[in-house]
Structure formats: structure tokens, C-alpha cells
A and B are shown apart, each in its own frame.
Chain A
């Protein structure tokens, strides 16, 4: 789990071009959207692509996105539970 969280931090920084953000600055339980990293709707779409491209996971129900992408930790938990 810890290893996946660290990998996800790096992938999020690279995929979303978070130029001035270091992995250590991302609290795994901090919200990704709103107050936390301040990501926007395009970033949300990029995360959906990342999930599919890197982990082969498709989100079937868009309503689940809010829960899955709440934080790096929730994203890691979802990947571990759904990766084939």
C-alpha cells in the first residue's frame, strides 16, 4: 500500500504537471480537489485516464469518482481492490 501511494504521488505530479509540488508535500489523506492540491475538472479527467492507462481500471459509474479520487489513499485502496 505504501509503495503504491508513493508511486501514485509521482504519477499524479507528472501527469498533472504539478511543477512546484514535491511528493513529500502530498498528504495521502488530504483531499485532491478543493482545498488540498486544488485540482480542477480537467485534472479529474486526467486521473481517470491515468487509472485506465496505468492500471487497466475503468470507472463504470462516474458517481463513484468523487469517492475514488478523494485522496491518494482512497485512490490506492480502489486500485488494490480492483486491479486484475
Chain B
């Protein structure tokens, strides 16, 4: 049986852990500044965070808070998977990259931007940070389908591929963002 435990929501410059406000920044802050303030609040020494694109930062930030109580320590690295989803893939970063290459007379693509033009990079960043080596997946769906994520987790569990997972939704569009992330075992 799958148990859903800690749950993180990030929206409107607020972070909720199990429905309780965990961190809040001024609503006028840009997503970039909100993410910086939220990460500094955690006091985690990990300079690589600042090099990530915004959607990866959202995922890594949510995972960091999700794992504060260390539910993953009860499992081996190979037993923990990551199953995430969103609707906009890495469209914001893709657009930034496109803007740097669309003009032949001003053609300066940034390698650091280009490497984030795939949504599963976010999964990789979470796995690198927490040394997870289990199965992972990133689905693109129009809306958040928690049931589908659970079904995928249960399938991997039935096949003895993983015993626990980070699951959920990490989405960013030009106008908005939303994170719904949970720990399941």
C-alpha cells in the first residue's frame, strides 16, 4: 500500500508544507528573487542552485523542503525514484534560448541556458543533490494528475524497482508557476 506523507505546495510566492505556511515572500518579488530568498532561508550551501533555470529551481527547492525530515534516509539510494510532471515542459527556458539564437547578427547562445532546455534535467538535479539512483520519469500532461503519478509509482514498486519516490507537479509558464510535490513510500 502506498503511503503519501509530506506534501509541498509552492504558489504566489508562498511555500506550504503539509498545508501550513512554511515560507512567504512579498508578492511583488519576481520568481527569480522569490526563489533566491526561499533558498537562502533554508541556509543550504549549494551554489549550483543559482545556476539552474527557474523551473529546476522550483523542483529542487520543493524537494529540499520535502526532505527536511529525512524520510529518504530509511531507503538505499537505488530504492528512491523521482516521478514528476508538468504542462509547459521547459518552455520559459526554451524561449530564452530561442531569443539568443533567432538573430544571426546577435547569435550568442548561452550553454548554461541550453542545458536546461529539457524538463528531466530538473529530475537529474534533484537526484544529484540527494544522490538518488532509482528509476525516474518526467511526464508532460495538460493538468496535474496525481493519480497517474501514484499509478506509475505503484507499478515501479510492484516491479521492485523502487520503494519510495518524490512525485508531483512542477510547472512554470510565462505568467505563472505551481508546485505540488509529495513523498510516497
Contacts and interface: CB of A to CB of B under 8 A. Distances in A.
Given A19-B36, A42-B115, A49 B110 contact: yes
B27 interface: no
A27 interface: no
A33 to B, nearest CB: 15
Size range of the chain B interface in the assembly: 10 to 19
Interface of B: 36, 47, 49-51, 108-112, 115
B180 to A, nearest CB: 27
Nearest 10 A/B pairs, CB to CB: A45-B111, A19-B50, A17-B50, A53-B108, A17-B51, A46-B112, A42-B111, A42-B112, A49-B108, A46-B111
B47 A46 contact: no
A52 interface: yes
22 contacts: A16-B51, A16-B112, A17-B50, A17-B112, A18-B47, A19-B36, A19-B47, A19-B49, A19-B50, A42-B51, A42-B111, A42-B112, A43-B112, A45-B111, A46-B110, A46-B111, A49-B108, A49-B109, A49-B110, A49-B111, A52-B108, A53-B108
Interface string A36-57: 0000001101100100110000
A22 to B, nearest CB: 13
Nearest to B51: A17
Contacts, number: 28
A6 B110 CA distance: 23
Chain A interface main SS type = helix
Interface string A46-84: 100100110000000000000000000000000000000
Size range of the chain A interface in the assembly: 10 to 19
Nearest to A38: B47
Given A17-B112, A18-B50, A42-B115, 12 more contacts: A16-B51, A16-B112, A17-B51, A18-B47, A19-B49, A20-B47, A42-B51, A46-B110, A46-B112, A49-B110, A49-B111, A52-B108
Nearest to A52: B108
Nearest to A37: B47
Contacts of A52: 108
A77 B40 CA distance: 36
Nearest to B100: A49
